[in-house]
């Protein structure tokens, strides 16, 4: 009759070999996934380099000034165009109409039409001061 000891060792060796094969295939699958991810990371880095180069080209000051000259009708600022704050005209005082709208404030008019300006209309009218 066969003793139990060798059968037990045989079963243990069989389980260890099955576990080793399963571990081997899991490791191979992980290596393939790692290789795939490394390739994807490299592609993404290459795409980022291309985007950096494109960004540098698009934001080149010489290119932008040439485009501005060709497509915008701009002129240099003349000295007489620069004024101090004191030279600006005062804002007109909003004059409320009978329906509560203001003749000079289109946003307040829109809010009143929407029914949202009851509290804001009284706050913006103030005490008759000139607003800046």
Is the pLDDT assigned to residue 81 strictly greater than 70?
A: yes
Residue 88: predicted pLDDT: 81
Q: Is 93 helix (H, G, I), strand (E, B) or coil?
A: coil
Helix, strand, coil percentages for the chain (3-state, nearest 5): 65, 0, 30
Measured distance between the N- and C-terminal CA atoms of the chain, rounded to whole angstroms: 110
Residue 42: predicted pLDDT: 98
Which residue bears the tokens 């005082």? 93
| Residues 105-121: tens digit of each pLDDT | 677 777 777 776 555 44
What residue spans define the domains of the chain? Answer: 4-71, 92-125
| Residues 84-109: tens digit of each pLDDT | 888 888 877 766 667 766 566 677 77
Residue 75: predicted pLDDT: 81
Query: What whole-number distance in Å separates Cα of residue 46 and Cα of residue 40?
Result: 10
Q: Is the pTM of this model over 0.85?
A: no
Q: Which residues contact 131 (CB under 8 A, 6 or more apart)?
A: 91, 93
């Amino acid at each position: 009759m066969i003793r139990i000891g060798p059968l037990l060792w045989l079963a243990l060796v069989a389980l260890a070999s099955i576990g080793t094969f399963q571990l081997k295939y899991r490791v191979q699958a992980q290596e393939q996934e790692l290789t795939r991810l490394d390739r994807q990371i490299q592609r993404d880095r290459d795409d980022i380099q291309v985007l950096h180069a494109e960004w540098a080209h698009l934001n080149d000051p010489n290119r932008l000034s040439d485009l501005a000259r060709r497509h915008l009708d701009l002129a240099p600022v003349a000295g007489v165009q620069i004024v101090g704050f004191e030279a600006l005209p005062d804002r007109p005082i909003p004059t409320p109409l009978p329906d509560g709208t203001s003749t000079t404030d289109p946003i307040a008019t829109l809010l009143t039409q929407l029914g949202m300006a009851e509290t804001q209309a009284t706050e913006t009218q103030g005490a008759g001061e000139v607003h800046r």
